Structure 1
């Protein structure tokens, strides 16, 4: 029979590496699965095409994967014949032998089984489990690096301004061992949710932007920035910075680099608007400035002189749009005092809005498998803490995951997303009740979604609970209990870090580099102010003008990054007399999974202002 198998492979154009071992294993497959040599080779051809193998050779190291392929074929054939049949796996046996009743407990609580058939026929399929590391349920007692970790739910960073709150954001468990049937946290109040945004819709047409779109987007940024500076009353009308003049002038333009290299003192150019200079550029001299932080694409105001017409010598740099001046500044003192008392009494009477949230950014599974263990641990934690909002930011099906790159999964990317992400979230919101909400924000690294920035939301319509699971655009903004939240999954902090050129003051007041990088986002009123965009960023300017704009400063801005996690309170404005100051909380929750190990997530209880907030970074 080995000779028949060999002849059948050669007949179809396949050669062998380690012929003896390959034929032995193929003979075993034929016996175990009752296959003829022709059937075996037909199955190999399907496996070969699905894996996109480079050469027409049958190798011994592919036999394990081929065996799993045959097992899945046999399973699907049986299911077609008897749809109601349940095929037990090793995980079912492990659960029974080890008395693992977690899944049984969830069934006792009444998770509706009818709704497990999610969204499409792809979700009706039986879950799969194989040695490639794909599973739609908890792996039992698997010795994964994530499962062997010794430290669980350790607080890495903490801001504790509300020590007496009842919210679960202060108390952290060392072990995930509570019985959810017996001990459940008191259900919180349902939060209001209003999604803002002018981003693209699902199925939109993208990557057809023209040079004209790119030009208009940059020109509009400069023009809007200039109008905002002038309307603040603090600066005069901008002039042409390229014209030689001994007088001090004020110009508004975009920072550019004169070459392909990194920005430095000698390569900084200022490109003004078409209205003021015809879009021409002029070299910028920064030696008079004590401190600054610049990057390509940043729109700034410059006070200085250009005696030669070839170089603008800056004496002052304005790198942020002033916030609106308080309307009662010029009111008569007696009237202002009465208004202050009225405002104070109103604030005392009205209860400040509050929100509790857990924030996590992908990847949601480790690089050695597709078990999504970190996500399962996070949802278990959320079930105990019961935040009003569970915010998950992509990537969900990470295109950089080794198994996704190689295409060694037996399911499509959409199937993995629905089975591993959406099904778990549906179970979570059904278990927790109508008081909780889950928000998804896609990433350009999501293998099952559009590769464009700005990004449309996921096209998901879960039955009965569409109001509890919401997908945002990327970037996206929303209001929860009147608290404004903005988020962007592009690692703009890391990209700004690689392009920024800065000079710090001698007193060291501006040495907080991460805070300085984060400040650029609200100061520029753009979720992605860098231009030209970093390599690999599919920025579509035909969609970007409104979608990337920050119209109002959010109370909380979420910027997940590969750089170290942080929660920082940013101070915006207040540099000029009479200018209002705004405080904004910037959150980088880190990555929930890092390589083969665990990562971090953020937990926040926000009570109306950064001064009334508890916030923690916790390792999963």
Structure 2
């Protein structure tokens, strides 16, 4: 089988170009494309899903791994067919007979999109490098990495911060090297959940479109110098007009397990612009785009037939302005840094394996923070006591003392028993910030956005600060934004590469977050983040029996729509944006914003002993008047992205 150059180019755009790809690899991808009647993009999506949910590794693109991918896609397709053909009352029996070792996300799930190393090293049982005649479908072996070894670095030319060098000195004589200020209104998070009203939700969604329209009109003028007029795309027009709306799928029954394509996208207008009507989009005249459900877009085009809006141009929303400092502030912050720089450790839960409540690894890390790392700040994202943990679901709390077990009255006391003592072991000079997760058993809100933990009732020490999810705060001159909801895993794009559209998925999604000015711009949100439940959740639509719901796990985005304004980024672009994801750790710089995903501290789906994940250490150098750029207003741009280093370590 011969593969044409056009197909090779398409594969390179999706998987990352590499001169070492062999003809056999291209032919295997072509075979998968024709066998499963899908596109190259769908094959890539399944390849990423296999890496994340089955292999738990960043595999090489070779014949052996593509053969395993074929079985993974077949299992996924079979799982999807069982959902649609098996009656609800028979699903439980069907699940017993299925091989749960191959349960995976449905066909079309979208984890990360990034350029991979594509060295075509064929795997074979004899290790000769030649492909074996019999495919080896066993799990690929993974090299052992020692704990706390460095995995990857961003901006390695920036000096590594020394940390809290005065950590062991007397607190009354040592210098405090940072000033921390919360950048949110805590009172706005004191709302009651599960009281959403249709009109309130509609007002919030309408406001997102109207705000984007106003931003675009303020930043863009017509050739005559007049504000650009936004028109209703649903009205017939023989000439091009500008319009603003929300990207929506063509079906109201759409869920994130289904695939979208450029023919299945509609544009939803606001009630002010087009009384909320929807119209299908024709994208054949444009190249280089990235669309997803919930995205607010500015389009130029026409509607000649009155039934379809033909898009001729896509306009980006205005970027957020960067932060600035006065000359006095630069000198003040330079003195606060005390020539050691700022050192921040970023972690993301879970902190125990999903089969146990063993936090010994997390406890040992606290000792390492005291003795070796000595950071100024530690940012810990939940979940801490995970609702999906097997011990929590079964109620089997492992305690040596039976009397202590009887005294545990609720999950808050489980947190107090297992987590609070760990933070008390941390040196009181180290500041800690806790961000909740929608899977946290002790969270006040089970929906996004979330209120803070109750620090007093959980028995946390004074150096532990509790912040809502999402939220931002300033430490010295650095504005750090945190959102603990996995947008990188949940978002599914209709993507076409082009000059203004990066082929790096992480870059594209980060760009979307900053332009949409929302930490979680996807709408509707995800149903459930757990791959174990995806083959069961169809029963929720078919009338499930109680026995069918026993294994349903909490998860998904759980968006509290009337309070989505609390999830907006703000009026100023953050300097560092931390958004944890179950996908592989990464750091990207987009429009001057350093975006960090520390990865999971413990890969809770793996067995104990093979559950180590990753964490990040961020070093920020002190600002200097010599290295900063001065604006027209005699202010100085902070340029945090040029003086920030991010190191990822194996946990």
Same fold per superposition (TM over 0.5): yes
- How far did residue 163 of structure 1 move? 5.0
Q: Secondary structure at the match of 1:425?
A: helix
Q: Distance in 2 between matches of 1:324 and 1:268?
A: 31
Query: 2:426 is matched with which residue?
Result: 428
Give me the whole-angstrom Cα distance separating, in 2, the residues matched to 1:438 and 1:324. Answer: 29
Task: Tell me, yes or no, if structure 1 residue 356 matches structure 2 residue 343.
Answer: yes
**What secondary structure, in the 3-state scheme, does the structure 1 residue paired with 2:419 have?**
helix
Q: How many residues are matched?
A: 428
Distance across 2 between alignment mates of 1:456 and 1:284:
39
| Partner in structure 2 of residue 77 of structure 1 | none
Q: 1:452-482 deviations in whole A, cap 9, x for unaligned?
A: 1111000113899875211111111111113
Write the distance in 1 (CA, Å) between the matches of 2:195 and 2:457. Answer: 31
Contact in 2 for aligned 1:361/1:589 (Cα 8 Å): yes
CA distance in 1, matches of 2:240, 2:190: 51
The alpha-carbon distance between structure 1 residues 252 and 427, as it changes in their structure 2 partners (threshold 3 A), is same
**Residues 312 and 359 (structure 1), Cα distance of their counterparts in 2 relative to 1, 3 Å cut:** same
Taking structure 1 as reference, are residues 566 and 164 closer, same or farther at Cα in structure 2, changes over 3 Å only? Answer: closer
Unaligned residue ranges in structure 1 (runs of 5+): 1-148, 170-179, 328-341, 572-582
- CA spacing shift, 1:515–1:616, aligned 2, 3 Å: same
Q: Equivalent residue of 1:297, what SS?
A: coil
Matched, 1:606 2:620: yes
Residue of structure 2 in register with 1:196 after alignment: 183
Evaluate the alpha carbon distance shift between residue 242 and residue 606 of structure 1 in structure 2; reply closer, same or farther with a 3 A threshold. same
1:456 aligned to 2:451?
Answer: yes
Q: Residues 302 and 317 of structure 1 are in contact (CA less than 8 Å); yes or no, is this contact kept in structure 2?
A: yes
Secondary structure in structure 1 of the residue aligned to 2:616: strand
Report the CA distance between 1:437 and its aligned residue: 0.8
Partner of 2:597: 588
Decide whether the 8 Å contact of 2:319 with 2:514 is kept in 1.
no
Please report the RMSD computed on the Cα atoms of aligned residues, expressed in angstroms: 3.2
Q: Deviations over 1:205-260 (max 9, x none)?
A: 11101111210110010011111111113461311111111222111100011112
List gaps (5 residues or longer) in structure 2.
Answer: 1-143, 223-227, 398-404, 528-555, 624-639
Counterparts of 2:458 and 2:369, CA distance in 1: 22
* CA deviations over 1:31-81 (Å, ceiling 9, x no partner): xxxxxxxxxxxxxxxxxxxxxxxxxxxxxxxxxxxxxxxxxxxxxxxxxxx
Give the Cα–Cα distance (whole angstroms) in 2 for the partners of residues 273 and 166 of structure 1: 49
SS across alignment from 1:610: helix
Alpha-carbon separation, structure 2, partners of 1:377 and 1:201: 37
- Which of 504, 510, 527 matches 2:497? 504
Structure 2 residue aligned with 1:403: 391
**Structure 1 counterpart of 2:150:** 155
SS at match of 1:382: helix
Pair 1:439-2:433 in alignment: yes
| Superposed displacement of residue 298, structure 1 | 0.2
Query: Measured at CA, do residues 168 and 545 of structure 1 come closer, stay the same or move farther in structure 2, by a change above 3 Å?
Result: closer
TM-score for the superposition, normalised by structure 1: 0.64
* SS of residue paired to 1:428: coil
**Counterpart residue number, 2:526:** 534
Aligned counterparts, 1:336-375, within 5 A: 351=334, 355-375=342-362
- Secondary structure of the 1:598 match is coil
Which residue number in structure 1 is paired with residue 214 of structure 2?
227
CA distance in 2, matches of 1:187, 1:385: 18
CA distance 1:346–1:413, shift in 2 (3 Å)? closer
> Which residue does the alignment assign to 1:255?
247
User: Residues of 1 paired with 2:186 and 2:244: CA distance?
Assistant: 27
List structure 1 runs of 4+ shifted beyond 6 angstroms. 200-203, 342-350, 462-466
- CA shift, 1:346, in A, is 9.3
TM-score normalised according to structure 2 size = 0.61
SS in 2 for 1:224: helix
Provide Cα deviations, 1:575-598, integer angstroms capped at 9, x if missing partner: xxxxxxxx1000000000013311
2-side partners of 1:284 and 1:276: how far apart?
A: 17
SS where residue 424 of structure 1 aligns?
Answer: helix
Distance in 2 of aligned mates of 1:593 and 1:453: 23
**Is contact 1:238–1:250 with CA below 8 Å preserved after alignment?**
yes
Q: Pick closer, same or farther for the CA change 1:161–1:318 going to 2, 3 Å.
A: same
Q: For 1:537-548, list aligned pairs within 5 A.
A: 537-548=557-568
CA contact (8 A) 2:343 2:375 kept: yes
Q: Which residue of 2 aligns with 1:487?
A: 482
The correspondence of residues 313-352 of structure 1 with structure 2, limited to 5 A, is 313-323=310-320, 351=334
Kept in 2: contact 1:600–1:617 (CA 8 A): yes
Question: 2-side partners of 1:445 and 1:308: how far apart?
Answer: 48
Q: Does 1:616 align with 2:609?
A: no
Whole-Å separation in 2 of the counterparts to 1:251 and 1:232: 15
Displacement of 1:546 after TM fit?
3.0
Q: Is the 8 A contact 2:323 2:572 kept in 1?
A: no
The answer to which structure has the higher strand fraction is: 1
Structure 1 Cα separation of the partners of residues 447 and 419 of structure 2: 21
Q: 2: CA distance between counterparts of 1:485 and 1:523? A: 17
**Number of the residue aligned with 1:40:** none
Inter-partner Cα distance in structure 2 for 1:196 and 1:587? 19
SS in 1 for 2:240: strand
Q: Is the 8 A contact 1:393 1:442 kept in 2?
A: yes
CA distance in 1, matches of 2:351, 2:616: 14
Which structure: larger Rg?
A: 1
In 2, the alpha carbon distance for the partners of 1:509 and 1:162 equals: 28
